[in-house]
Amino acid sequence: MKTNSPVNDTDFVEYPHIIREAAYGRVYEVEPGTFFPSVTTCLKYGLPTPEFLMKWMITESNGDYQKHLHQNGEASEIGTAVHSLVDEILDGCEITISDDPLEYVSGRGYYPTYNTTIAIRKGLQSFMAFWNKQKPEVIATEKLLFSTEVDDTGAYLYPFCGRCDLIAMINGERWLLDTKTSKVVKDVLNYGIQLTMYRMLWDSMHPDQPIDRIGVIWAKKDFLAAMPPKSVLEPIEYKFNPDMVHHVYAIFEQCYDGFALGRPRTKEKAPRVFSLDMEGV
């Protein structure tokens, strides 16, 4: 989706960059005037919520929407914390997890406890078990993927973008991997399409280094034994399914109202400073 994007000649703008004031989901400006939604935003608006997940959300929240938001917030923040700490480990850092959960999560809308840090530690323990078993050769981490490739009509082939966790060689094959801390990570339609979209973008950007396989690293955060289960030691592989991407994106276009004339809708602004001298309010 493209429109004119006036920029002051004295300003330096790096592309792609995220539109932080976007009102709906996550939007990137990949080049001047060209805006793509993130992969996760496409999936949020283009896929139904799986029945098992809907049941879990209703059960855990007792039908209370605010309680659902609070619980979802903690799970999401634990996942984000594990991702960030994994990045530090892959950069060669040695990290020590403290007992203070507020060093890793915000606690907005819920009360983090010691169990929050236990979940983070177990997620990292699961990831390290996978890493020590597979010994991947890292090609790229936290790679922002996008493509402005067009077809014969000038339409974008991949009008979305996203950041994949890891590209690595395992046993001579190039894997695209995403780290998940979710309770269920196998046969999740959302994950399969997300990985497929990332692979489509990577292959477009790196035609000389195509992806062989896609999968999930399960940073399981809720195991009860002293050591992670064997299920975390292997990548949880997903099928590459580009046909589904086209269907999901078509639904996304019908359901998503985050764009107006090619420009992302932005959050409503209001003044911050007030005084009796104000005019035009």
pLDDT digits over 155-188, tens only?
Answer: 999 999 999 999 999 999 999 999 999 999 999 9
Q: Which of 242-246, 266-270, 277-281 has the highest mean predicted lDDT (pLDDT)?
A: 242-246
The answer to whether residue 81 is domain-embedded is: yes
Does a structural domain hold residue 2?
Answer: no
Whole domain around residue 249: which residue ranges?
A: 17-264
Cβ–Cβ < 8 Å for 117, 144: no
Residue 70 has pLDDT above 80, yes or no: no
pLDDT at 262: 75
Considering the domain boundaries, does residue 73 fall inside one? yes
Query: Residue 246 burial (CB < 10 Å; 0-12/13-18/19+)?
Result: exposed
Looking up tokens 């976007």 gives: 22
Residue type, 252: F
Please give the pLDDT value at position 67: 63
In a domain, 88, yes or no: yes
How many domains is the chain built from? 1
